[in-house]
Structures are given as C-alpha cells and as structure tokens.
Structure 1
Amino acid sequence: MLEKLIAMVASWIILVISTLGYGGVALLMAIESACIPLPSEIIMPFAGYLVYTGELTLWGVALAGAVGCVIGSIPAYYLGMYGGRPLVHKYGKWLLISHHDLALADRWFEKHGEITIFIGRLLPAVRTFIAFPAGIARMNMGKFIFYTFTGSVLWCGLLAYAGMKFGQHWDQLKVYFHEFHIVLVIAGVIFLVWYVRRHFKAVRRSHHHHD
C-alpha cells in the first residue's frame, strides 16, 4: 500500500516537472521545505535527468530548487515563530514531524547557531524541518533567507548533478534498469519507508516517555 502511494507520488513529481519545468521544480521544493516530506531525492535527480536530455540547465534547476526552498521555508519559519513547540506537540504526528526530529533540529540550532540553517539544508530529513527552530528562535529574516538559499542551491545542485550524470551513463545502465523513473521510484520508496518507520518509532518512544 505504502509502496503504491509512493509510486503515485513519484509519478506525480515527474509529471509536474515535465509539464512545468523550472516552475515545477520550484513548486515541489517549496512543498518539501514547508515541513511536508516530499522527497527532494526524487525531485532534483529527475530535474537533473532533464538537464541531461537538454530540456533544462543545471544552474536553472539548482536556482529554481533553492527559490522553492526559500518560498516553502518562510511559512514554516512563521509557524515556528507564532505556533512554536506546542503546535508540533499537538499536530506534529499528522505532519510526520516527530519530537525527535524537532529536538534534533533544536539541538543543532542551539549548538551551532544560525549556520545550522545552511548545514541543515544539506541533511536529509533534518532539512525539511530546519526552518521551524529558526522561527522559534526569531532568527533574523535576511540571514535566514540567505542561509536557506545558499544551502539549498548546493543540495539541489548536487542532486541534480547526480541525476544528470546518471542520465549520461543511461545506455550502460539500461541493462539493469528499464525505465529511469522506476529507479527514482525505488529510491523514493526506500527513503520514505525508512522515514515513516523512523517517525512512528520516535512517536512510540515519546509516548512511552510521557506515560
């Protein structure tokens, strides 16, 4: 059931990017940055594949992805600023935000300060929620946008580059995989199954602690 759902999500991601190009990349990355775990591990490599086919450019997709990340992070920042932790405790499980993820992002933020926003953008799972503690801490908005943008350009560029390289070697790899998007779906399935499992484990753990 979960695998089917993820396959549908992956097909939708591929359709959005194929149809909307750079706008699609920005839109999907905005969703991913707004505390909704839409895997950039599918979004950006597919955009990179389209760079290989000549439909998009590497700089273009990296910038579109980063702009999307900034757009999606701003509502998450304000959510942290005005809703704070009580909001996560109340609704987090529905948004797949566990106390564990938030505590991790919080700890990073307290320990390393504002540079965390840059580093956090390069870490799977953490990157989706990193805007939240910045909002709680009322970090300077200009700096927040700067660090979000620079970290995201790197992350999006690297994933797109991987997708582009993958595309270049497609002829040799075709023997093992028949369709490029199937590979992305499999990667997405593995990532999301791990992510959801980890989330529910953390939720169970926090219930035990509260009991």
Structure 2
Amino acid sequence: MDELILTIVENFKELSYLGIMLALTIEFVPAEIVLPLAGYWVYQGDMTLFGTVLAGTVGGTFGPLTLYALGRFGGRPFILKYGKYFFINEEKLSKADEFFEKNGGMVAFTARFLPGVRTLISIPCGMAKMNVWIFSIYTFLAMLPITFIYVFLGLKLGDRWKDVGELANTYILPIGIGVLVLFVLYKLIIKFRGNKASVK
C-alpha cells in the first residue's frame, strides 16, 4: 500500500508546490509519507524549504476540511456506512468522538499532535458544527510546526528520508504533550476565573 501511495505522491511532484498541496488534500495519503519526501525534494534542490512548508501547511489544512464536511453534512450514520472507503472504522471514530467530548473545539488544534486521533478528529468537529473558520485556523496553526518538522527532517536526512517517521515522533509527541498541558492549564484558569466571578 505504501508503495502505491509513494507512486501517487511522486507523480504529484510534476506540479511542484501545488502537487504537495493536492497530495495532502487527499486524506488517505499520509502526511508522514508526503512531507518527508517533499523534504527530500528540498534536499535535491528542486524546491525551497519555505515554499514546501507553506504548501504542506495549506494542503494539511484543506485535507481535514474534507473529513469535517463529511461529519457536518453526512453525520455519524453516513460515516459508519461509507467510512471504510476512507479507512475509517467505528472504533477509530469513537476514539475521536470521546476526545472531542472531553476537550471541546480546541481539539482541532491539540489533536493534530497525537497519533491515532489527529486525522479523524475532523469528523466530530464537523458533526458538532464547529465554526469552519475557527476549525481552519486551529488546523493551520497546528499543521505549521508539524509540517516544518517533517520537511526539515526529510531535508536533513536526504536519501534516508524514509527514516523520518520514527524520528519525527520524538519531536512531535513532546510538543503535543506540552500543548495539552498548556491547554489544561488554560481551561483551569478560565474555570477558576468563572468561579471567582460567580462568588462576587
């Protein structure tokens, strides 16, 4: 399967930065393959780091919007019926639902750093009819550092760009944990201020 995806992505190279954007807009094409390979293209001198990161971030924002739309306009029954065509099953969807219920709309940002829910979290955001602009801004802000890490590591590893996946997790997971800690602190501060205001 990875070889098929790799062939598809390599064909997108002919479209340069637009190709990167389009490849990432197709949600079943993993960013973990596209972005390190794009970093390798930077290493080869075919593209610039800035242009590649920008194209990857924009594509990484458009891609989740397709799943957001499925959730918003199709609803859960539609997802469960046709999700198999997007590599979505009920277990994965339930995980994303649970994460959304616990954390609210901010998950459009925080969940991007967490394996297992980073892609499917777009569906419950859509089902909850989260404001599409807020969803897009959160997604863009999360995808920017993630895209940079994958592309930069692909650039640095050069011919060994396929090794980026495991290495990237050593950077992305700590960032994700840090983001979650800050998010929890933010919620606690808001709750504390709310309680304080109600006492007055």
Question: TM class by shorter-chain length?
Answer: 0.7 to 0.9
Aligned residues: 166
1:125, CA displacement in angstroms?
Answer: 4.2
Q: Distance in 2 between matches of 1:94 and 1:67?
A: 24
Shift of 1:134: 0.6
Look up the equivalent residue of 1:22 and give its one-letter code: Y
Highest relative contact order (Cα 8 Å, sep 6+), 1 or 2? 1
Shift of 1:144: 0.4
TM-score normalized by the length of structure 1: 0.71
Name the counterpart of 2:107: 116
Q: Which amino acid aligns with 1:157?
A: F
Letter in structure 2 aligned against 1:117: A
Q: Is the 8 A contact 1:66 1:153 kept in 2?
A: yes
Identity score, percent: 39
Counterpart position of 1:10: 6
**Residue type matched to 1:105 in 2?**
A
Q: 2:128 aligns with which of 137, 146, 155?
A: 137
The answer on whether the counterparts of 2:70 and 2:79 sit within 8 Å (CA) in structure 1 is no
Which AA in structure 2 matches 1:77? Y
Deviations 1:157-211 (A, max 9, x none): 11111101101xx5xxxxxxxxx57x47xx7xxxxxxxxxxxxxxxxxxxxxxxx
For the aligned residues, what is the CA RMSD? 2.2
Unmatched runs of 5 consecutive residues or more in structure 1: 171-179, 188-211
**SS of aligned partner of 1:21:** helix
Greater share of residues in helix: 2
The 5-angstrom pairing of residues 18-167 of structure 1 reads 19-32=14-27, 37-167=28-158
Q: Deviations over 1:43-89 (max 9, x none)?
A: 00011111122221222212111211222222322221121111122
The runs of at least 4 aligned residues of structure 1 exceeding 4 Å deviation read none
Q: What TM-score comes out, normalization by structure 2 length?
A: 0.75
